[in-house]
Structure 1
Amino acid sequence: MTDLTGRTVLIAGATSASGLAATRALTAAGARVVATGRSAGKLAPLAALGARVDALDLADEHAVLALSRRLRHDGMPIDGLLHLVGGWRGGGGLAGQTEDDYRALEPSFSALRHLSRAFDEDLRASPAGRLAIVSSTAVARPLAGGANYAAVKAAGEAWTRAVAHGYARSAREAGAPLRAAAVIFRVQALAGLEDRLAAAYAGLWDAEAAALNDSTIELAQEGRSTP
């Protein structure tokens, strides 16, 4: 089993089934988990698992910066960031993709931008920083009815690859080995994959950063391959 004793991991958007599975897996591996989401009530089960919980709007840049300052003040710079902020809005073909649908999905990308910037220093300074997002196979095969969704996920992937480039460049300019990695997990649907995602994220610490950085890992149900 992966040993994450001494690591601090921030789960962004932790109030889903995936957040619960990740919290359970990471705490079992010895990590200190910081679980975030909008609803204090929905974070309560994560606190019961031993996570530190912080209720905030991750699409609010100032709130995210304040969180990063609080954690550093408390001696908890993060070693990992698992971005689970998401959701689905779609259907109705291209004409059915409304502006409201897009705006409902956009906070996922905004949160990723705010979090990766606010915690960039932490992740680059960590002996083994690991940032991961959950994307979708829709990026590779976008459909008209999911155009907004695929576009937001594609933006998240592009941003994550830029983060990976930043990690590599920082290490190269410092003449130091690469210690941080940014990874994209792609799924067709998360339902039923929560435990596999949690294990795959925890397992990132078992591999060298150079082998992981700027990689895309596809997750599928047992016995199935992603399309």
Structure 2
Amino acid sequence: MTTNGDTTLDGAVIAVAGAGGPAGRAALRVLAEAGAKVVGADAQADRLAESVEAARHDAGSARITGDVVDLLDPQAARDWADRTEKQFGRVDGLVHLVGGWRGAKSFTETDLADWTFLNDLLIRTVQHTSLAFHDALLRSGNGRFVLVSQAGATKPAAGNAAYAAAKAAAETWTLAMADSFRKAGGEAGPSAAAAIIVIKALVHDEMRAQKPNAKFAGFTDVHDLARSIAGVWSLPAQEVNGNRQWLTPRP
């Protein structure tokens, strides 16, 4: 695998968790266009198949495959990591795009059932995938774990207490993974990196079509996010490990 400012990922093998949504489809396409072999995972077979087929068409590439995985099952996550490394001989990246949102009108109206829901989607899946892929990313020599987070983790709003807290927990977990990579690298520095990309919200073509008069101020297009994700491999591990890349102004 070679990398440069143009983000060439020839020979790289990159797994994408939560590949069934618009952001997943964009990530599959952009990473494949950069030369990577991309393995998308999602718990919903229909969504995943549609996303993989569309990304293959958009990228004009057969380097995109799908694997139905329940990432709430830690063993299933480990099996996915092992299966991917065995099939391709290496794993150079894990992009975490599993998402979900629940909110309330005010702080006191927060439903703690929302916390249970978000804890599973936004924290448990990060825990399971990071633990499953950690060693393979170290073996890669240029491995990357990429978490997509949200600005509310840094400055939470009253009605978004559960969501912001879950995002903050996922960031903290990712930073601990970054410290593991730092320690593994010793004096030479880390060869793998865990990085965080921060957005306000995402927008895609279907949203624009549904709301043609909306401005979506501060939103990040899913393809711009995907290009930022691909760019993580073009920088030295020491520059991105344990750091946040902001695609929206810091609050």
TM-score interval, normalised by the smaller of the two chains: over 0.9
Distance 2:73 2:133 in 1: 15
CA distance, structure 2, for counterparts of residue 76 and residue 152 of structure 1: 34
1:24 aligns with 2:29: yes
In structure 2, the residue matched to 1:215 is: 243
1:171 maps onto 2:199 in alignment: no
- 1:1-227 to structure 2, matched below 5 A, reads 1-48=6-53, 49=56, 50=62, 51-107=64-120, 108-172=122-186, 176-191=188-203, 192-220=220-248, 225-227=249-251
Whole-angstrom CA distance in 2 between matches of 1:212 and 1:180: 9
Q: Which amino acid aligns with 2:48?
A: L
Q: 2:153 and 2:185 mapped to 1: Cα distance? A: 29
Q: Post-superposition shift, 1:179?
A: 1.2
Q: Distance in 2 between matches of 1:209 and 1:72?
A: 21
Q: Which runs of 5 or more residues in structure 2 are unaligned?
A: 1-5, 57-61, 204-219
1:105 positional shift = 0.8
Q: Which amino acid aligns with 1:81?
A: L
60-69 vs 23-32, which moves further: 60-69
State the SS of the aligned residue for 1:183: strand
> In the aligned structure 1, how far is the partner of 2:66 from the partner of 2:89?
13
Q: Which runs of 4+ in 1 moved over 3 A?
A: none
Structure 1, gaps ≥5 residues long: none
Secondary structure of the structure 2 residue equivalent to 1:53: strand
Instruction: Measure the CA separation in 1 of the matches of 2:112 and 2:104.
Output: 13
Could you tell me which amino acid in structure 1 is paired with residue 18 of structure 2?
G
Distance 1:26 1:178 in 2: 23
| TM-score after normalising by structure 2 | 0.84
Shift of 1:99: 2.1
How many residue pairs are counted as aligned between the two chains? 221
Q: Secondary structure at the match of 2:108?
A: helix
Secondary structure (helix, strand or coil) at the match of 1:70 reads: helix
Q: Is the 8 A contact 2:21 2:51 kept in 1?
A: no
Aligned-pair identity in percent equals 36
The CA RMSD measured in Å over matched residues stands at 1.4
- Secondary structure of the 1:10 match is strand
3-state SS of paired residue (1:119): helix
